[in-house]
């Protein structure tokens, strides 16, 4: 048997088999390491996907809350615009600007305007304090000279 072991073919075959076994063991070790790395990468990827999903869900919830808040604010703005007296104030500002422009452009307008304004103010004061308001509150006629059609200005 020693004769066979000393033969160069058997020795070459033995060295070749030994190298093949070492390469096979090295491949198994690398395969195990690669599988472990893949497991780690899969776990990290799964964790990242879960975190991204949570972040996306949180952003969607926050976006929905902000949309609802914007809608509520728009509703509030609209209701504030429609509050009683708001339109009248806007109309008052428009008339005030128109009067300022008329004072600047029409030379005789200021004097006539002042006279008519004082007359209207005195009529309104007498309307609020006199017998006519008492009668109107008691009788409530449908049309009056000092009131606009459709009701009392109080």
pTM of the model: 0.40
Quote the mean pLDDT of the chain.
81
Task: Categorize the per-residue pLDDT at 56 as very low, low, confident or very high, splitting at 50, 70 and 90.
Answer: very high
End-to-end CA distance of the chain: 131
Q: Where do the domains of the chain lie?
A: 90-140
3-state secondary structure 84-112: CCHHHHHHHHHHHHHHHHHHHHCCCHHHH
Is residue 103 within 8 Å of 109, Cβ to Cβ? yes
């Amino acid at each position: 048997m020693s004769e066979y072991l000393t033969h160069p073919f058997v020795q070459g075959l033995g060295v070749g088999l030994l190298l093949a076994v070492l390469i096979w063991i090295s491949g198994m070790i690398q395969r195990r390491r690669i599988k472990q790395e893949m497991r780690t990468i899969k776990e990290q990827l799964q964790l990242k996907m879960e975190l991204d999903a949570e972040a996306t869900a949180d952003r969607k919830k926050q976006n929905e809350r902000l949309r609802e808040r914007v809608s509520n604010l728009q509703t509030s703005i609209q209701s504030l615009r429609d509050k009683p007296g708001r339109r009248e104030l806007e109309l008052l500002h428009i008339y005030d600007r128109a009067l300022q422009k008329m004072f600047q452009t029409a030379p005789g307008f200021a004097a006539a305007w002042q006279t008519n304004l004082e007359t209207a103010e005195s009529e309104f004061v007498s309307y609020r304090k006199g017998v006519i308001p008492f009668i109107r509150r008691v009788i409530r006629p449908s049309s009056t000279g000092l009131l606009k059609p459709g009701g009392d200005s109080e």
